[in-house]
């Protein structure tokens, strides 16, 4: 099928995760994404083990750089800079997530670049944004989970702050970059001019704790950690059964009443302490041990079947193998095999006309397409 971004050219001057993720999303949607690498390649090529079929390129790199073409340029040289400008003259979008100040040092800052290439949508991904006292600080995902407040609300109340199990700021910043780039491209369709799109891991980190910040701005309340639970819905968390954990999401009074019936304690839903949602939040310390004790009397599958039959939202707490091998994963056909003997990776989480785009190319070798694109090795 012809994909939505067919005919769009993207130049990605990126490494690690946020920039390449934005690039691979556009590539999977049909854009011609040219990955500009330093002569020694993207640092992420060495982020292993595990390594892919070539034994040298990390599986991580394969996942974030499929469907792209690679050119290697020394951007510390005038020749490299001019070669990049030649690419930008043909491009619709440029993405970069280099260290703050690097592009400016090379004469490739946002304002001067869009002045030279007025058709270009220039996307810059930074750690802390383009302004403020921390704008020149380098940043990685864990730094922003800490600085942005996410770690303070992740984990158990009596334990230390915890890191999320995925690079949530990098990945979401990459997605916000795609959203911003496509919005700016739509505007260019009307005006004929590109523009500058700025995203940062800090903005993303603040966005993740939007509700907690809004509450603090309203009443000064500082949210604490709630383990697997939530601050304003109870019971809405994981529970240990006699063998394996499950997640219960009794998000309203009806679901709570059904849960109580399944657990053999319909009287709980009539108890004044637990009658309404606000009552359950207020008396969480009394309610949760009662529910936990009930779940401990039987297996996870027993409770999943019973809760499911009652229409109560619940789920097993799957590990990575369980979700990968689940019937639902197979049904949505999200796992794809890269062309030319590449490894299996997770595909784009979007369907177009009920079809998921498949990778068009394997992940490239460093500078694999120099001759094809630059006319030289």
- The catalytic site residues sit at 170
| CA 20/CA 96 separation, integer angstroms | 9
User: Residue 33 in contact with residue 10, Cβ under 8 Å?
Assistant: yes
User: Residue 293 in contact with residue 241, Cβ under 8 Å?
Assistant: no
Query: Between β-strands 195-200 and 121-126, what pairing exists: parallel, antiparallel or unpaired?
Result: parallel
Q: Is 189 exposed, middle or buried (0-12, 13-18, 19+ CB in 10 A)?
A: exposed
What's the per-residue H, E or C state across 88-150?
HCCCCEEEECCCCCHHHHCCCCHHHHHHHCCCCEEEEEECCCCCCCCCCCCCCHHHHHHHCCH
**Token output for 273:** 């302490």
């Amino acid at each position: 099928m012809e994909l939505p971004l067919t005919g769009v050219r993207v130049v990605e001057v990126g490494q690690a995760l946020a920039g390449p993720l934005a690039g691979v999303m556009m590539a999977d949607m049909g854009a011609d994404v040219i990955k500009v690498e330093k002569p020694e390649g993207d640092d992420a090529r060495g982020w292993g083990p595990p390594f892919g079929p070539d034994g040298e390129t990390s599986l991580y790199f394969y996942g974030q750089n499929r469907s792209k073409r690679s050119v290697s340029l020394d951007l510390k040289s005038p020749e490299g800079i001019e070669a990049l400008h030649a690419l930008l003259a043909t491009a619709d979008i440029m993405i970069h997530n280099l260290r703050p100040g690097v592009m400016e040092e090379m004469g490739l800052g946002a304002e001067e670049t869009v002045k030279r290439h007025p058709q270009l949508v220039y996307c810059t991904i930074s750690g802390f944004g383009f302004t403020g006292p921390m704008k020149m600080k380098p940043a990685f995902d864990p730094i922003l989970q800490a600085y942005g407040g996410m770690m303070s609300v992740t984990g158990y109340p009596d334990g230390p702050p915890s890191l999320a199990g995925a690079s949530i700021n990098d990945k979401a910043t990459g997605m916000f970059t795609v959203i911003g780039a496509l919005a700016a491209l739509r505007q260019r369709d009307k005006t004929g001019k590109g523009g500058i799109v700025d995203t940062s891991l800090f903005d993303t980190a603040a966005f993740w704790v939007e509700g907690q910040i809004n509450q603090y701005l309203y009443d000064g309340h500082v949210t604490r950690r709630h383990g697997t639970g939530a601050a304003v819905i109870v019971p809405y968390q994981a529970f240990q059964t006699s063998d394996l954990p499950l997640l219960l999401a009794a998000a309203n009074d009806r679901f709570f009443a059904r849960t109580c019936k399944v657990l053999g304690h319909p009287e709980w839903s009539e108890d004044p302490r637990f009658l309404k949602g606000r009552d359950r939040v207020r008396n969480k310390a009394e309610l949760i041990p009662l529910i936990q004790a009930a779940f401990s009397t039987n297996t996870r599958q027993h409770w999943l079947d019973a809760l499911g039959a009652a229409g109560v939202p619940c789920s097993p707490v799957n590990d990575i193998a369980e979700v990968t091998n689940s019937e639902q994963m197979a049904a949505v056909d999200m796992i794809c095999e890269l062309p030319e003997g590449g490894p299996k990776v997770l595909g784009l989480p979007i369907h177009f006309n009920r079809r998921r785009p498949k990778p068009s190319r394997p992940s490239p070798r460093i500078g694999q397409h120099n001759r094809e694109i630059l006319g030289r090795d």
